[in-house]
Amino acid sequence: MAYSYQIKSLIGWGEPRANLNVSTANCGANATAQGGLAKTIMQGMNGILIVAHAPLAHALRECALHVFADAGDCVAALDVRSDATPEQTLAAAKAAFDRLPRSSGVLVLADLFGATPCNVARRLAEDRPCRLVAGVNLPMLLRALTYRHEPLEELVQRALAGGSQGVVNVDPAQPCPSLCAGPSQA
């Protein structure tokens, strides 16, 4: 998994966790228990729900699954259509929330504070074990998936850091870091 590690390092995640093998850290019912490891890992994961203007939520989910192919059951996406009422959207959000694993809760990521997706997510969060973060971007989602096994409060801090550290002013005159060159032969 050298390629996955290089992506993580490029975004600033540091060393990979020795006790978590991404290829066996499946959250869903499709996990194959090898000595009970997969079942134990599944029970210790938090779910992630993305609520955003259509088609952003599903696009972010698909991008994240490109890196974390085994995390499909841990992350749900709700695209808020312009023709849907807030009540319809809230019902869909509740259904998506209820399908997610939640060790200590669910991290809900909304796209824009004050917009309909975030307002619906706020209503969802009123009576459920979750935390809501607005301003989702791909680095935030990737960081959250990387640390989805941590307690919810720590996961929130990891996601916030990933989101802000992933926004970088790139100087095209500077050489690209060696990690941009592609996967290593390690």
Contact present, 73 and 25 (Cβ < 8 Å): no
CATH number of the domain enclosing 153: 3.40.50.510
Residue 161 lies in a domain: yes
Residue 106 lies in a domain: yes
Helix (H/G/I), strand (E/B), else coil: 165: helix
Please give the span between the terminal C-alpha atoms of the chain, in angstroms, as a whole number: 9
In whole angstroms, give the CA distance from residue 120 to residue 110.
9
In whole angstroms, give the CA distance from residue 32 to residue 17.
21
Residue 156 lies in a domain: yes
Tens digit of each residue's pLDDT (9 = 90 or more) over 27-81: 544 443 343 444 444 568 999 999 999 999 999 999 999 999 999 999 999 999 9
| Nearest residue to 40 via CA among 87, 103, 90 | 103
pTM of the entire structure? 0.75
In whole angstroms, give the CA distance from residue 74 to residue 176.
33
Contact present, 144 and 109 (Cβ < 8 Å): yes
Beta carbons within 10 angstroms of residue 82's beta carbon: 7
Task: DSSP for 62-96, please give it.
Answer: HHHHHH-GGGTTTEEEEEE-TTS-HHHHHHHHHHH
Residue owning tokens 């969802």: 124
Tens digit of each residue's pLDDT (9 = 90 or more) over 98-151: 999 988 899 999 999 999 999 999 999 999 999 999 999 999 999 999 999 999
Domain count for the chain: 1
Residue 185 lies in a domain: no
In whole angstroms, give the CA distance from residue 102 to residue 104.
6
Residue 15 lies in a domain: no
Domain with 133 in it: 45-168
In whole angstroms, give the CA distance from residue 45 to residue 47.
7
| Nearest residue to 66 via CA among 157, 141, 148 | 141
Residue 153 lies in a domain: yes
Residue 119 lies in a domain: yes
pLDDT score recorded for residue 43: 64
